[in-house]
Amino acid sequence: MSLLDVIFNLKAGKYTEDISGKMPAHIGIIPDGNGRWASRRGLPRSMGHRAGSNTLKRIVTYCDRIGLKYLTVYVFSTENWDRPQEEINTLMKLLEGYLQNAEKELAGTNVRIRIIGDLEGLSPELRKQIPRVEELTKNNSGLNLFFALNYGGRSEILHAVREIADDAAASKINPKDITKEIFEKYLYTKDVPDPDLIIRTSGEMRTSNFLIWQSVYSEYLFLNTRWPDFTERDMAEAIRGYAKRNRRYGGI
Ligand code: FPP
């Protein structure tokens, strides 16, 4: 029996290993290593991103099938604008294509897509496609897939602070009443549980401004695998490893 079958019997639609109560609700992914994957093969970096986007599509389908509720993928950070324009164009075109073909890309799944990040900096085509696809998938009850796009944790927090300041200036909120729960309502991730597990591929051990408020008690998994080589089996192993961890949230 393969590992995938051990954890989740896709045909029977049930868990075959006892990870009851230990299935993460929310997994975050930092899909690193597209460029290195391509360079090692003597290919242009754009081919690495293309391969990475195919991996992402497979992993999204897998996560939906195994009943994961939330998956957030860091597809473009506020710092990624520092890359060469050609590479930025490749990434934006991949995203545009994915959203333009969402009906086909998501066929057979029950995935709901949402985008978190600063949408104002994005191309007119992306700003057209994002509301279309969010509307198209809004009644889907399977995996909630978030693309963190032009996203940075610090800019998300600053955005929340500015909105709270506006509300305070308009007397809609009293600064004394601001609690953690109220603050979180101003984040892009309002109504989304904090990530239980964050996976970063390709050997880098840093968090790079990803969900910095939300990840204070997340479990991390750093893998050497380059993102295009990441498989459903790696995801199953990650979930299995997570299920064995002892989370204490600062307690004993
Ligand atoms: C990091 O690898 C990866 C990115 C900055 C982009 C992630 C994008 C995808 C996985 C594709 C998204 C596509 C769709 C259709 C949603 P890197 O370029 O930093 O790799 P390197 O560190 O080896 O140079």
Q: Is 34 in the pocket of ligand 1 (CB under 6 A)?
A: yes
Burial (CB < 10 A; 0-12, 13-18, 19+), residue 170, is exposed
> Is the C-beta atom of 98 inside 6 A of ligand 1?
yes
Judge if the beta carbon of residue 49 lies within 6 A of ligand 1. Answer: yes
Check pocket membership of 56 for ligand 1, CB cut-off 6 A: yes
How much is the pLDDT for 247? 87
Q: Please report the pLDDT score of residue 1 as a whole number.
A: 41
Tokens of 15: 């868990």
Distance 212 CA to ligand 1 centre (A): 19
28 near 72, Cβ under 8 Å?
A: yes
Q: Which atom of ligand 1 is least distant from the CA of 98?
A: 15
pLDDT, position 15: 60
Q: Which domains does the chain have, with CATH numbers?
A: 4-152+194-242 (3.40.1180.10)
Residue among 63, 119, 62, 122 nearest 91 (CA):
122
Q: Respond yes or no: is residue 32 known to be catalytic.
A: yes
Where does 76-120 have alpha helices with state H?
A: 85-100, 102-105
- Is 234 annotated in the active site? no
Task: Please identify every stretch of the chain with a pLDDT value under 50, giving residue numbers as ranges.
Answer: 1-2
> Considering only CA atoms, which of 167, 168, 164 is closest in space to residue 156?
164
Given the structure tokens 């709901």, which residue do they identify?
112
How far is it, in rounded angstroms, from Cα 239 to Cα 237? Answer: 5
User: Candidates 40, 49, 230: which one to mutate for ligand 1, based on the most atoms within 8 Å of Cβ?
Assistant: 49
Ligand 1 pocket residue status of 35, Cβ below 6 Å: yes
